[in-house]
Structure 1
Amino acid sequence: MSSRTVPFVVSATGTGVAQSLTAAGDVPHEFRADTLPAFGGADADPSPLSYALGALTSCNQVTGSLVARGLGLTLGTWEFHVQGDLDPAVIATGAEGNANFDSVHVQVQVQTDADEATFARLREETERRCPVTQLFKRSGLAFSSEWSRVDLA
């Protein structure tokens, strides 16, 4: 294991259920979070759960691009559809159980010049190396993914 790490830092302030957040870096990025009215929010900004699912898609694309470079592949457009199924009883009412998603399903379509065997390697390595995929998989929820390739135009 490498002794070198890269820190990812987010600072936030908020009232009620809404927050203003800043991701530190060479260029700080500001964003906001809120939640659905059912959870006390105004739905003025994405919910933390939407950000978590969005992090899953973007981390797969970043990781997949790194993997593809190592495999000598050319990639085009990525398309994702992610669904996380959540029983709101724990978070909303304090019911016993796990507040995590029950399941998350990811659909990925990638334009590439990879043949089927190399595309399978791209998928396997991306899911293995993607920190956010690993957070979801190791959390104990039912995780599934479907990857399909589209020839580059």
Structure 2
Amino acid sequence: MNLNGLLDTNGGRNPFEYLLGALSTCTSIIVSYAAKEQDFEYSGLDFSADATLDPRGFRAIEDVTTYFQMVKINVTVKTNENDDQLRKLKETVEKRCPIFNY
């Protein structure tokens, strides 16, 4: 995560990291529901999430947003399903995940 100096030095998590964790969790739940509905079998999911934020927005620099400029989530699905089925699952999850669409 590139938070440009906003990370705590005490080693604890910050709200931005919790938000990315919530995105991964929500995505995982939607995958579970969508896979069941589509008879899509999988044995595991691995997540990584990254984001870029410009902290100048918190210092009231004009025309700098206070929210993430970029959020990227990578999901690795352990499955024997074909590429078309995986694509369909991905499209369904992207449409239905409320945090992904926020």
Q: Normalising by structure 2, what TM-score? A: 0.85
Aligned to 2:85: 118
User: Which structure is richer in relative contact order (CA contacts within 8 A, separation 6 or more)?
Assistant: 2
Q: Which of the residues 52, 60, 64 maps onto 1:94?
A: 60
**Counterparts of 2:27 and 2:7, CA distance in 1:** 31
* Greater C-alpha Rg: 1
Aligned to 1:74: 41
Q: Which of the residues 112, 127, 140 maps onto 2:94?
A: 127
**Counterparts of 1:81 and 1:90, CA distance in 2:** 25
Taking only the aligned residue pairs, the percentage that are identical comes to 27
How many matched pairs? 98
Q: Is the 8 A contact 1:65 1:75 kept in 2?
A: no
Specify whether residues 118 and 89 from structure 1 end up closer, same or farther in structure 2 by C-alpha distance, changes over 3 A only. Answer: same
Q: Which runs of 5+ in 1 are unaligned?
A: 1-35, 136-153
Q: Normalising by structure 1, what TM-score? A: 0.59
Is 2:74 the counterpart of 1:107? yes
Q: Which runs of 5+ in 2 are unaligned?
A: none
TM-align CA RMSD: 1.9
Is 2:15 the counterpart of 1:48? yes
Deviation at 1:54, TM superposition (A): 0.7
Higher normalized helix content (fraction of residues) = 2
